[in-house]
Amino acid sequence: MIKKIKLKHLMYDELILCYGLKDYRKMLEKYNLECRISPATTGQCTSFYYEVDGYRKLIIGLKKKDNIDDVKLTLLHEVVHAVTFIMEAHDFECDEYRAYTTCSLYKECCDALWSYLSGA
């Protein structure tokens, strides 16, 4: 599953959520990104600048798992990394902004993932 989520943050235009490391690798190749993915990886977050459209993008890759609680925890972990990239790009240090952004982005990713998993 590959789902593009539009972002409302100034320097980032989208987060690409990949459920399955095969799709994550596919997105890395599409944007000519080199990233080592170890066999133990359960999730990964990549931030990059895309010269074609002049925006930064985020890609989160999640390993497919049977245990939905593990998927949720891995997703939350990777969203925290994504928010760190956003905060650093804007030179923000506001903890309240970080908290709201983490909640908002996690909810959007969950909605996309649960929609996919439920077959909707």
Domain 2-117 in CATH 3.30.360: no
Residue ranges covered by each domain of the chain: 2-117
- What pTM was computed for the model? 0.89
pLDDT surpassing 90 at residue 11: no
Give per-residue pLDDT as tens, 20-57: 999 999 999 999 888 778 777 888 888 888 877 778 88
Give per-residue pLDDT as tens, 47-105: 888 877 778 889 999 999 999 999 999 999 999 999 999 888 888 899 999 999 999 99
φ/ψ of residue 58, rounded to 5? -120, 140
